[in-house]
Amino acid sequence: MGKPSPKKTPMREQAPEKRICNFSEVPHGYTPEEAMAEAKRCLKCKKPSCIKGCPVEVDIPGFIGQIAEGDFWEAAKIMKRTNVLPAVCGRVCPQESQCEEVCVLSKKMEPVAVGNLERFIADWEAEQSECVMCEKLPATGKKVAVVGAGPAGLTVAGDCIKLGYDVTVFEALHKPGGVLVYGIPEFRLPKAIVQREVDFIRSMGVNLVTDYVVGMIKTIDELLGEFDAVFVGTGAGRPWFMGIPGENSLGIYSANEYLTRSNLMKAYLFPEYDTPIVKGKNVATIGGGNVAMDSARTALRLGAEKSMVIYRRSKQEMPAREAEIHHAEQEGLIFEFLTNPVRYIADKDGWVREVECLRMKLGEPDASGRRRPLPIEGSEFRIPVDTVVVAIGNSPNPLIPQTTPGLEIGKRGTIVADPKTGRTSKKGVFAGGDIVTGAATVILAMGAGRIAANSIDEYLKTGEWRVE
Amino acid sequence: MAKILKKEVLGPGIKRFEVEAPDIARKALPGQFVVLRINEPGERIPLTIGDLRPAEGVVVIVFQEVGKSTKLLGTLKKGDSILDFTGPLGKPSEVEKFGTVVCVAGGVGTPEVFPLARALKQAGNKVISILGFRNKDLILMEAEMRTVSDELIVTTDDGSNGNKGFVTDALKQLIERGEKIDRVLAVGPVIMMKMVSKLTEPHAIPTIVSLNPIMLDGTGMCGACRVEVGGETKLACVDGPEFDGHKVDFDLLMQRLKIYLPEEKESLELFEKACGQHKK
């Protein structure tokens, strides 16, 4: 084998000036030739570190090896053994801080494009007339309930059905997928792809119930009367606001609302779809994470002339993925770094017209290790805006914690669960994803789901409930 | 999917559905609401639960046709199904023995007040109900409300039922005649709830209002329904929908209800055109 080329095989994408006018996906995906060329860059390490870098431990060299050989069917089989949402992960996982970060190549050159290859193989499989089915162990006769059909819940469901359990997933919204359908925009994760993965989980025999609000219709205790184990993956629910004057003015959204209107309810297709959204000309998004990037890029596609991102620290401290920031910059987003809103000014009808901000400087590192932003006195200035999206995070959904006696709750309203097993303070109840960690990533939630599924299996086989 | 078992027209543009939703009927309590979506392109709309028959698995909703979604909902017939029907959502109303409770309802607030008045009556309260309508043709559920009220007063804005005035006039008379009121519950248009709260505040009568802001998910996820109560931001869907009327910023609520007026108008015009009902 020759020396691998130093750079990843590039993925073709829609030109920025074109894509800001539509909601279609930005990258086009690899052709089979491109995928095989990229797969051949893998050194097939004897002790691969990439698998350990993956929260769900996908057999990365295994599936990449098959792609290099051109056996895509076999590659898909290997992938699906450990990952029930490959087309999603290939698009939204932060590979640069996981599998690709620990790839041996990355010491000297660009790592193998694991994410791009994962996406390729999932999309290739979807185009075939039949799909790879996973082997299922014989039925155990035991029942598992999963609360919340987001990344954590779907992973638990997919794993438990393979292990021979009878699985029912309860979803509060009208569509399964959680943040994959309400949060992440179409141009980053097409909803048809989420639907495809959900359909696959259904086809394996998982019973998916929508419009079912656990905590209100049935409590966890009631579910424990019908099921042998319950997994809670209800996610990060309630949006944070800054609590500054004027924040309830018209035109000011939480990112959750802005994105839910656009993604889940398809407000970008109004009036064909009934849900409206304010299509501002001067849109400011507050925050520096992936959700802020998604919101600001959505604003552009909804017709904003100017889409700004207001972030209180500098570019280096932004929690958003580099690829997202890069895409956002290409699309012409305007960044106001070291800037923090202090109040909103509305007109007589209550519509937001200006945001007053303070300039910030960076001080000593805080608990997160990032340098703390400090306000510069007297630096107030105003930016004209007609729409604002507040994307500064969420606190966990309170419905289950409030309605489940005996379930230990952490300081920030999260459910306390053992990270090694997903076990909570209540026998038979497991939890994982954002409801345990606070807002994090899709793949971390899936990793927690994987751990919980194995732990559910162990509990249901042994009947032992040990929590460390 | 939730099937419509019975459909009634209560008045001009006011419809009552009995919906088959056994899980919700079993668990819901007065004061809670459902969120429904009629079809795939449909929006999620919150509706307060009008009545419940748990044994039969029935949830009753009553709505006034104002925009596209409610008009479209009104075209559904007995035997049709509503695509999505989620609930019960929100906190139930506080029901205990307060003493004398005045239930005030305006227009389509009446069917929402009915199960509350009944529950309060069953809890041993003296229930005085005040219902207000624009004119006598719009009067709703007078007979039913009589069965759960110790005293019933029905007012009309134009006096066409022989009792001209607003609900606040009737409430003022109750206060002036020396009725010892322990609690007021007001459900209806925002302006009505505001005026009722303003009237009771100087008399220090605890006043509960049921707020109806724009909602999306109804489970505390989006913040569309934020309202200011006592200077704090609350989410009507999970912290409410009932709040202390003396602390609610009604003016903000009224403004926020107007966010999508142009879009609502556009949507309705397209719908009416498609229905061939466009007035010339």
Among candidate residues A21, A12, A91, A93, the one with its CA nearest the CA of residue A332: A21
Residues B84, B112, single domain; the answer is no
Residues B252, B229, single domain; the answer is yes
Residue of A nearest to B269 (CA): A271
Residues B130, B198, single domain; the answer is yes
- Record: contact A173-B270, CB cut-off 8 A: no
Give the A:B interface size as CB pairs under 8 Å. Answer: 118
What is the pTM assigned to this prediction? 0.92
The answer to whether B267 contacts chain A (CB < 8 Å) is yes
What is the rounded CA–CA span in Å between residue A334 and residue A306? 7
Query: Quick check: B278 pLDDT over 70?
Result: no
Please report, as a single letter, which amino acid is at residue A332: G
pLDDT in tens, chain A (468 residues): 567 888 999 999 999 998 998 899 999 999 999 999 999 999 888 889 999 888 888 999 999 999 999 999 999 999 988 888 888 888 888 888 888 999 999 888 999 999 999 999 999 998 887 777 778 899 999 999 999 999 999 999 999 999 999 999 999 999 999 999 999 999 999 999 899 889 999 999 999 999 999 999 999 999 999 999 999 999 988 899 999 999 999 999 999 999 999 999 999 999 999 999 999 999 999 999 999 999 999 999 999 999 999 999 999 889 998 888 999 999 999 999 999 999 999 999 999 999 999 999 999 888 878 889 999 999 999 999 999 999 999 988 888 988 899 999 998 889 999 999 999 999 999 999 999 988 888 888 988 998 999 999 999 999 998 776
**Residue A42, token pair as written in the block:** 């893998």
Does residue B279 fall inside a structural domain?
no
Find all residues with CB under 8 Å of A96, minimum gap 6, and list them: A321, A322, A323
How far apart, in Å, do the first and last CA atoms of chain B sit? 37
Query: Quick check: B43 pLDDT over 90?
Result: yes
Which of B42, B258, B260 has the CB atom closest to A276's CB atom?
B260
Residue B55, phi then psi, degrees to nearest 5: -60, -35
- Other residues' Cβ atoms within 10 Å of the Cβ of residue A139: 10
Does residue B61 fall inside a structural domain?
yes
Question: Nearest 5 degrees, angle CA A339-CA A340-CA A343?
Answer: 135
Find all residues with CB under 8 Å of B66, minimum gap 6, and list them: B13
- Record: contact B221-A239, CB cut-off 8 A: yes
Residues B47, B108, single domain; the answer is no
The pLDDT score that the predictor gives to residue B224 is 95
What is the rounded CA–CA span in Å between residue A426 and residue B159? 61
Angle between helices A442-462 and A151-162 in degrees, nearest 10: 40
Distance (Å) from the C-alpha of residue B234 to the closest C-alpha of chain A? 11
The pLDDT score that the predictor gives to residue B280 is 44
How far apart, in Å, do the first and last CA atoms of chain A sit? 48
The answer to whether B37 contacts chain A (CB < 8 Å) is yes
The pLDDT score that the predictor gives to residue B148 is 96
Distance (Å) from the C-alpha of residue A237 to the closest C-alpha of chain B? 5
The pLDDT > 70 percentage for chain B reads 99
What is the rounded CA–CA span in Å between residue B60 and residue B20? 9
Residues B203, B250, single domain; the answer is yes
Q: Are the CB atoms for B49 and B113 separated by under 8 Å?
A: no
Strands A381-384 and A352-365: antiparallel
The pLDDT score that the predictor gives to residue A63 is 93
The pLDDT score that the predictor gives to residue A1 is 52
Please report, as a single letter, which amino acid is at residue A336: E
Residues B169, B247, single domain; the answer is yes
The A residues from 386 to 415 touching B (CB cutoff 8 Å) are 397-399
Residues B151, B238, single domain; the answer is yes
Would you list the DSSP string of A271-307?
TTSS------SEEEEE-SSHHHHHHHHHHHHTT-SEE
The answer to whether B43 contacts chain A (CB < 8 Å) is yes
Name every chain B residue with its beta carbon within 8 A of the beta carbon of A273. Answer: 41, 43
User: Which of A191, A211, A214, A263 best probes binding to B when mutated, by most B CB atoms within 10 angstroms?
Assistant: A211
Which of A211, A241, A269 has the CB atom closest to B86's CB atom?
A211
User: Which of B27, B40, B221, B254 best probes binding to A when mutated, by most A CB atoms within 10 angstroms?
Assistant: B221
- Record: contact B266-A210, CB cut-off 8 A: no
What is the rounded CA–CA span in Å between residue A430 and residue A77? 28
Residue linked to tokens 């607030």: B109
Question: Where among B53, B88, B123 does a domain terminate?
Answer: B88
Question: Nearest 5 degrees, angle CA B155-CA B157-CA B161?
Answer: 50
**In this structure, what CATH number is given to the domain that contains residue B53?**
2.40.30.10
The answer to whether B259 contacts chain A (CB < 8 Å) is yes
Residues B64, B116, single domain; the answer is no
- Record: contact B267-A257, CB cut-off 8 A: no
The A residues from 262 to 301 touching B (CB cutoff 8 Å) are 265-266, 269-276, 278
Question: Nearest 5 degrees, angle CA A154-CA A170-CA A214?
Answer: 130
Q: Are the CB atoms for B114 and B145 separated by under 8 Å?
A: yes
Residues B123, B210, single domain; the answer is yes
Which of A251, A254, A271 has the CB atom closest to B222's CB atom?
A254
Find all residues with CB under 8 Å of B201, minimum gap 6, and list them: B207, B246
| ipTM for this model | 0.93
- Record: contact B87-A210, CB cut-off 8 A: no
**In this structure, what CATH number is given to the domain that contains residue B213?**
3.40.50.80
Residue A131, phi then psi, degrees to nearest 5: -110, 160
Distance (Å) from the C-alpha of residue A261 to the closest C-alpha of chain B? 8
Does residue B267 fall inside a structural domain?
no
Question: Where among B35, B53, B88 does a domain terminate?
Answer: B88
Name every chain B residue with its beta carbon within 8 A of the beta carbon of A276. Answer: 43, 260, 263-264, 267
Question: Where among B30, B64, B88 does a domain terminate?
Answer: B88
- Record: contact A274-B238, CB cut-off 8 A: no
Residues B115, B20, single domain; the answer is no
Q: Using CB atoms within 10 Å of the CB of residue A33, give its burial: 0 to 12 exposed, 13 to 18 middle, 19+ buried.
A: exposed
Please report, as a single letter, which amino acid is at residue B57: G
Among candidate residues B73, B71, B149, the one with its CA nearest the CA of residue B110: B149
The Cα-based distances of B20 to A269, B5, B26, B83 in angstroms read 31, 6, 11, 12
Name every chain A residue with its beta carbon within 8 A of the beta carbon of B222. Answer: 239, 254, 256-257, 260
The answer to whether A348 contacts chain B (CB < 8 Å) is no
Does residue B159 fall inside a structural domain?
yes
What is the rounded CA–CA span in Å between residue A208 and residue A202? 7
Does residue B251 fall inside a structural domain?
yes
Residue A225, phi then psi, degrees to nearest 5: -75, -20
Residues B119, B228, single domain; the answer is yes
- Cα A166 to its chain centre, rounded Å, is 26
* Residue B56: domain span: 2-88
Residue linked to tokens 């431990």: A57
Does residue B268 fall inside a structural domain?
no
Residues B180, B53, single domain; the answer is no
Q: Are the CB atoms for A111 and A101 separated by under 8 Å?
A: yes
Does residue B94 fall inside a structural domain?
no
Does residue B212 fall inside a structural domain?
yes
Domain count, chain B: 2
- Record: contact B37-A174, CB cut-off 8 A: yes
Name every chain B residue with its beta carbon within 8 A of the beta carbon of A398. Answer: 220, 238
